[in-house]
Structure 1
Amino acid sequence: MRFAFGDIIVDVEQVKITKKGEHLECEPRVFELLLFFCQRPLEAISREELVNTVWQGRIVSDAAVNRAIGELRKLIEDTPSSPQWIKTVSKVGYRFTVSPTQEDAETNSENTTDSFAENPSLLLDNNGHKESRTETQAIAINPKRKNIAVLLLISISFLTLTLVALWGTFPIVKQTKPLAKHQLQVIQRKPLTSITGSAFNPAYHQANQQLVYLYRASSDDYAQVHLQINNGARSALTQDSFYYTDVVFGSGNLVYASRLNNLQDRHCEMVQIDTVSQQVTSLFKCGINVVTQLAFDSHKQRLLYQSRPSISEPYSIHAWQIDTGRKQQITHPKQFGNNLGDYTFSLSRDNRYLSVIEYDADNKDTMKLIDLGDNQLLQTHPFIDDVFGLMWRSDTELLASNSDGLFIFDITKQQLTPIEHSDQFARLAAGKNDQAILTERSQIRMNIVSYPITVEATSVEEVSVEEARADSASLNNTVVKTDTITPLTASSGINQTPVLGNQSNIMAFISDRSGERNIYIKDGKSTLIQTAFKGEIKHISAMAWTHNDKYLIASINSQLFRYSINDQRWQAIAESFAQVHHVAASENAILFSAEIDNKWNIWQLPIDAQGNINQDTASQLTTKGGYSVQADNQTLYFSKFNHPGLFQLNLNVSTENLNDEVAEKVLIDDFPIAAWRHWQLKGDYIYYLLGKEYLSLNLTNNEIKPLHHFSGRAPSDCNLAVQRNFLACDRIELSQSNIWQLTLSH
């Protein structure tokens, strides 16, 4: 069977599209989409129907549908921006504008070739057919000019396979560019695990034909170490109260793993596990606030791992000698600002060399090649940014993955070449043979919900749980469900970082529902505004509403911007500051933290009654450090980049006396550095999240009261409504992944 319209022929049997006699390469999903349109011509088809039919009911984001439609238009339209064949139907979906003719296919046409022979991967998906991956923990996804708090979130997201974050886009389908036949390509995809929950961080032992990986049944569970033998039988090697972060095979029946005591304190410990007896032996402490990757050097019988002295210092690679317990630092990353340092690495197959990716704030990240005989640096080379996976394919070739796809690096030529542009590649590990690699494919869905709270009697009138739920429901304009959680967003993608207004429940949040990360605004009437930021949004560090809710302030790509509700446009402000992180607003000023000379401090820009800003009047408020900030007219409240605690500073003290210890005081001495975004000032109270408890601190008498306990995983971000009667928080609704083996061939 063939469908024909215009100069295009869709051959069903040969899974082939030709235009003007030329064969068009495309993804299987794009072909299925076009075939569905041909079978349903001239109808207005909803996105829901497309998902149910073309995606067979799988959970996919709006971004996935947008991208597939975009790729199909690029394929068949002469002018994709002004499509002839596939029209958008407002508030419905899409319509195929032509009724194609149907004819029998010519099975032996001289001008056709077998698509499956050209691209065997067309046959593969979750059930043996090609299927694209939803976003994994790399989620996330480390943007350039990272700050230490963002990096910590990315690390925790890496652990929980959730927020990569926080800082990346989460499309299910991403553009795949066809490669020439002589180039290395993925020819087969096969799942090695098929379980409910999340399986990640795989390691395979070719001699024993065993697979170890981390597994958790839900996003609320702690990851444990599992073993799977060649026949598919699997067992849990650990079942304890620790959160395991990586695992690798050692000698004989031993595996080595890193684990955290919990996700709040994050005390790291290295352990040895006997796969036969399942005995777990503690080896040594590997740091605090450390999420480490492991490798086993079989030649020298030692473990390689990442570590750092503190959360505000860069990672470096260390070695621990198994027989003697001797520790050695192997790499020495650059020491500047909030540098992440050596954030991923791979040991060569002969254990002679170490390839390391070092973060660079202003340029491409750097690949460093190190001789492990004397720990000497052999070469450096600009690399891809935000590497998820890194592994040696041969003695002279490295494979690397990030959100853009899979790449190969020739060490001798110092040449980096893409293999496949796709979002199907996460962390990489050696597979069952030299042509196979392991990676993870996962799905994640996150939305914003409200949790009602009953506040203590303050200047704000006390409200009931029912009133709190009604207030949050009015923001969503939906009927409140019988449980205590009310949805504020409903999307199959990633919706996160809610920020509520100061005078109303207007809400700004970050979402990838359009296919790219963007900032959305939703008012109490459920009007949804997609803010039109000019240029690519690489990362968003923080957002805040001005006192009157007329402007949204945001740190985008480490620079400061203001969005006007009335004009619906963005404006760059404080343009002389290139490293801006946290933002806030008081009644008469915009507050922000900025890094200058490798020091983070708090600055302010005055705002007049009309909302005008004098960009030449930025003034420095702190000199001894400042990272996240809130303020009233008299007092500045802030956290610091490299010191725990929440601080207060009397703004009535002159700048000449800023170094006076009386001016700056510690308000909460055990406030974690990593909690910089988990607090806010409202009236005479500071509200903050500590572990799974949301607390209030009365500034008049220093009394601390619990407001809400999160029974499951604590949210990444919460924001308290102006009435102080409900919390808007992000909530993971779906998080699952499995281990896949990919076969590469020329």
Structure 2
Amino acid sequence: MRYLEFNHITIDTQNQLLIRDGESIILAPKVYDLLIFFCKNPARIITKDELMDEVWTGTLVTENAISRTLVKVRKALGDDPKSPQFIITVPRKGYRMVTEFNGSDKCQYNEQNTTEQTSTNKENNNTITTSFSSVNSTKNKKPKTLFSLFAISCTLLIVAVSFYFSIQQNIEIIATKQLKPLTREIADEQHPNVSPDLSQLAYTKVVRGKPSYINIENLSDHSKMSVSHPRGKLSRPVWSPTESKIAFLYQHKQVCIIFLAEQKEIKNKDNWQEITECSGESWPHLVFSPDGQYLYFNDRQSKANGYQIFRVDLLNKQKDIINQPITSGQGNYAFDISPDGQRLVMLNSEFTSQTRIYTLDIAQAKLQLRAKLPYLMGAVVWHHDNMTLVHPSPHPAYELWQSNLAGEKLAVVVSNTSRVKQLSRINNKQDFTFVSYLINRDIHFKDSNKDNQSMNLDNSSVMDYLPALANNSGQYAFVSKRSTTAEVYLAPLPTENKRVATSKQLTFFNAPMRLYQLLFSPDDSQLMVLADNQIVIVDIDKGEVNKLALGNRAISGISWQDQHTLLFSTIRNNDWQLMQYNIATKILTAMPNGYQGGLYDHKNQNFYFLADESNEVMKLNDLTQTPQSTGLICDPGFINRQLNLTLTPNGLVCLSDVNNNIQELKYYSFADKSISPWQKLPTSFDYQINDKGVIFTQLKQSVADIMQTKSN
């Protein structure tokens, strides 16, 4: 195995890995080629023309391609262009590597030969007397051996690079496509799938207050056939590639079934053919194999488990699990089969917002890691060429990108004014369908001192959400996408003299980051921000933003125990575990087992924990005492990573569905320990309560239309 080492950085040239600070980073092909070229030419100024000739041989690229790749090289090295340690820019000339490197051979063959020679000498009982000339001979042979190994390594590298370029030259870069709307109706249309003969479109219809159902639309005359169930939700229709059949998902409470039905008989549920059951905690993605023999789907046992990919033989209903990476965290949450049916692409993620791209050779069951990306890719399909991928751009996604298997962006397939999701490939060897959607929420405040008068707060024309009330002052924090990315803002609540408030931006992530919860500390000096399984603490007075070092773990349902201590839920041994974290000492401690999550009532000095199995809220005066039942049932335990339990000045509120299977907000009174319905809000989870009133979000606009790409 050949290694290049410099300044505590190691490059594994066989596996194209860069090892820095104990972390292995998979290098994209162009990034690797550029870095190796710099390593081969240390302390020499390299012009852009040289880089084009050596790294992009036979390929027409612009200087921007070099600049973008160089940014990735510096990022992999941990280099700062303002004070570079490795690569510097020489104005009007090119680039130069600051440091030299050493090539170190760690070859098992050399070590093995030495061992074998020693063993042979011992067996012959020979006494070895090495003359000076023989020592010189050995010394002379070693550089030749090193040179031979280096030559072989270079030859293999050249062959690999040449093979890569030959593949790259066969890749067709997609020209940016036009758009054609397929649906423009009231309410939301989701999960589009066009029939193999291109004549019909099946999709999920989502109407507020009703179970979702399936529409099958004739694309010529736009006539529709609706398929519904009186109790359950129907979704994710997928056409069989060989028959006039549709697979789809049925869900009702904890029941999850994948059905298959003939198109002409699909309205009669008695004609549905059950393919397999799935977990009530999952939302499976369905994909047929191109020959129609198998249906692939992913499933998870519970919300604490990651997704696993299965396949069902439709002839004998035999289900098996495919070879795939570790499924902790989100697991293998998205996948697709290549048009030729030979490979599977899988998106794998644990807890942090990173994506690993894997491919599986289906015939040989051979799994290969292709890329590790610093953002969470929303979905993926194979391009028609069987070699590249099409997927949404980083969150919030307004484009579809074409990328190679290393995750490198090759082209923009579509640029859209609304966000994109749920793409699928059309059987015409060039186009795709996807959902173009827009969600706009506004923030409102009900003032408890003014007969719950509702006020519309400082809202933009895009998403404003996750409102949080300060405990001791007339301020609130919220998340807005007014600057494209999700950022946190601070604003004063309006008064009679000042209705229009000016908000202040607290964070500048400028990254594809999803945010899930905001919460002020007891003295309002700090603001907790829950991002993609990471906690960020904002010091409001100093304007400092610090990420807590909690590693790669699940994080949900955060609350403040005191000014320096957080409570949150994580996953241990595929089950929820309530944890306590001290920000000052950085000590993480496990709380009593058997609880999904919990919060602390500062006023009455009591803990309220949500039991694992029953979802019942239990009161604990002290962690060592026996818990007391409140009788309040909160189901589900978490909603969008927020704990489904909110502390009010005089009680607790949570969403519950124990009353005639109708979900509503329930209130538990500390005074008389009674349970009763709570006030109706437009949302069941995105709200906070204190002495001043209730702050909440209200959906202002929700549109989801199905679009099709259209080649020029």
Q: TM-score normalised by the shorter chain: which range applies?
A: 0.5 to 0.7
Matched with 2:280 is 288
Contact 2:290–2:339 under 8 Å retained in 1: no
Question: Does structure 2 conserve the Cα–Cα contact (< 8 Å) formed by 1:444 and 1:735?
Answer: yes
Matching of residue 227 in structure 1 with residue 216 in structure 2: yes
Q: 1:266 to 1:491 in 2, by over 3 A?
A: farther
- 2:401 aligned residue (395, 400, 407): 407
Secondary structure of 1:185's match? Answer: coil
Q: Does 2:176 correspond to 1:201?
A: no
User: What's the counterpart of residue 31 of structure 2?
Assistant: none
Kept in 2, the 8 Å contact 1:273–1:279? The answer is no
Residues 1:211 and 1:311: Cα distance change in structure 2 (over 3 Å): same
Q: Residues of 1 paired with 2:366 and 2:172: CA distance?
A: 36
| 1:57 counterpart residue number | none
Corresponding residue to 1:359 among 349, 352, 357: 349
Which residue identity does 1:468 align to in structure 2? N
Conserved 8 A contact 1:574-1:615: no
Equivalent in the alignment of 2:504? 530
Deviation at 1:184, TM superposition (A): 2.2
Please say if 1:236 is aligned against 2:225: yes
- Classify 1:295/1:488 alpha carbon distance in 2 versus 1 (closer, same or farther; 3 Å): same
Amino acid aligned to 2:491: K
The equivalent of 1:441 in structure 2 is: 436
Between the aligned partners of 2:347 and 2:703, the Cα distance in structure 1 is 27
Which has the bigger relative contact order, CA under 8 A and spacing at least 6?
Answer: 1
Q: Secondary structure at the match of 2:462?
A: coil
- 1:632 to 1:533, Cα distance in 2 relative to 1, 3 A: same
Distance change in 2, residues 1:185/1:291 (3 Å) = same
Pair 1:578–1:623, CA change in 2 (3 A): farther
Which of 499, 503, 507 does residue 468 from structure 2 map onto?
499
Residue pair 2:683, 2:696 contacting (<8 A) in 1 also: no
User: For the structure 1 residues 309 and 225, does the alpha-carbon distance in structure 2 shift closer, same or farther, using more than 3 Å as the test?
Assistant: same
Aligned residue identity for 1:439: F
Task: Identify if the C-alpha distance between structure 1 residues 625 and 439 changes in structure 2 by more than 3 Å, giving closer, same or farther.
Answer: same
Residue 615 of structure 2, aligned match among 631, 642, 645: 645
Change in CA separation of 1:510 and 1:282 when aligned onto 2, cut-off 3 Å: farther
**Over aligned residue pairs, what C-alpha RMSD do you find?**
3.5
Task: Find the aligned partners of 1:728 and 1:558 in 2 and give their Cα distance.
Answer: 24
User: For the Cα contact (< 8 Å) 1:574–1:618, is it kept in 2?
Assistant: no
In structure 1, stretches of 5+ residues that fail to align are 1-180, 453-462, 474-486, 606-613
Correspondences of 1:315-464 after superposition (within 5 Å): 315-336=307-328, 339-361=329-351, 364-373=354-363, 375-378=365-368, 380-382=370-372, 385-403=376-394, 405-410=399-404, 416-420=408-412, 424=416, 425-431=420-426, 433-450=428-445
The separation in 1 between residues aligned to 2:313 and 2:549, in whole angstroms, is 50
- Greater Rg, structure 1 or structure 2? 2
Name the CA shift for 1:739/1:708 in 2 (closer, same or farther; >3 Å).
same
1:341-369 CA deviation, whole Å, 9 max, x = no partner?
Answer: 01111122233322111114458412222
The offset of 1:401, in angstroms, is 2.4
**CA distance in 2: counterparts of 1:670 and 1:596, whole angstroms:** 19
The answer to whether the 8 A contact 1:429-1:439 is kept is yes
Q: Deviations 1:578-622 (Å, cap 9, x if unpaired)?
A: 7565432356553232759777432254xxxxxxxx812756361
Aligned runs of 1:95-174 on 2, under 5 Å? none
Structure 1 vs Structure 2: percent identity of aligned residues? Answer: 15
Q: 1:528 aligns to what SS in structure 2?
A: coil
| Partner of residue 616, structure 1 | 585
Q: Does 1:511 align with 2:511?
A: no
SS in 1 for 2:371: strand
CA deviation after TM superposition for structure 1 residue 423, in Å:
5.6
Aligned equivalent of 1:36:
none
1:732 aligns with one of 688, 699, 702:
699
Q: Which has the higher helix share?
A: 2
Deviations 1:382-411 (A, max 9, x none): 356323342342233332223354333445
> 1:270 Cα shift?
1.6
Distance 1:381 1:553, change over 3 A: closer
**Structure 2 counterpart of 1:601:** 578
| Residue 311 of structure 1 pairs with residue 299 of structure 2 | no
Distance 1:718 1:301, change over 3 A: same
CA distance in 2, matches of 1:697, 1:560: 29
SS at match of 1:276: helix
Partner of 1:693: 664
Q: Which amino acid aligns with 2:546?
A: A
TM-score (norm 2): 0.64
CA distance in 2, matches of 1:577, 1:625: 23
Partner amino acid, structure 1, of 2:599: Q
The answer for the alignment partner of 2:261 in structure 1 is: 273
**Corresponding residue for residue 253 of structure 1:** 244
Cα distance between partner residues in 2 of 1:556 and 1:363: 9
Q: Which residue of 1 aligns with 2:544?
A: 570
1:344, 1:357 within 8 Å by CA — same for their partners in 2? yes
Output the amino acid matched with 2:501.
T
Q: Compute the displacement of 1:258 (Å).
A: 0.8
The whole-number CA distance in structure 1 between the counterparts of 2:629 and 2:685 is 28
Per the alignment, residue 189 of structure 1 pairs with: 179
How far the C-alpha of 1:208 sits from its partner, in A, is: 5.6
More deviation, 587-596/222-231: 587-596
- Which among 580, 590, 593 is matched to residue 565 of structure 2? 590
The CA deviation at 1:196 is 2.9
Question: Matched residues in 1 for 2:413 and 2:614: separation?
Answer: 42
Question: Is 1:467–2:441 an aligned residue pair?
Answer: no
How far residue 223 of structure 1 moved from its aligned partner, in angstroms, is 2.8
Is 1:297 the counterpart of 2:261? The answer is no
1:546 paired to 2:530: no
How many aligned residue pairs are there?
Answer: 511
Report the equivalent of 1:480: none
Distance (whole Å) between structure 2 residues aligned to residue 617 and residue 378 of structure 1: 37
Equivalent position of 1:490 in the other structure:
459
Q: In the alignment, is the contact (CA less than 8 A) between 1:186 and 1:742 conserved in 2?
A: no
Q: Secondary structure of 1:708's partner?
A: coil
Deviations for 1:678-714, whole angstroms, at most 9, x for unmatched residues? 321234521112354111113465421101346xx74
Please report the TM-score for the alignment, with normalisation by the length of structure 1. 0.61
- Name the CA distance, whole Å, in 2 between partners of 1:279 and 1:209: 22
Residue identity opposite 2:261 in structure 1: I
Deviations 1:648-705 (A, max 9, x none): 464645xxx5xx8x36978656643334433212345211123541111134654211
Please tell me whether residue 677 in structure 1 is matched to residue 677 in structure 2: no
What residue in structure 2 maps to residue 79 of structure 1? none
Stretches of structure 2 lacking an aligned partner (at least 5 in a row): 1-170, 495-499, 658-662
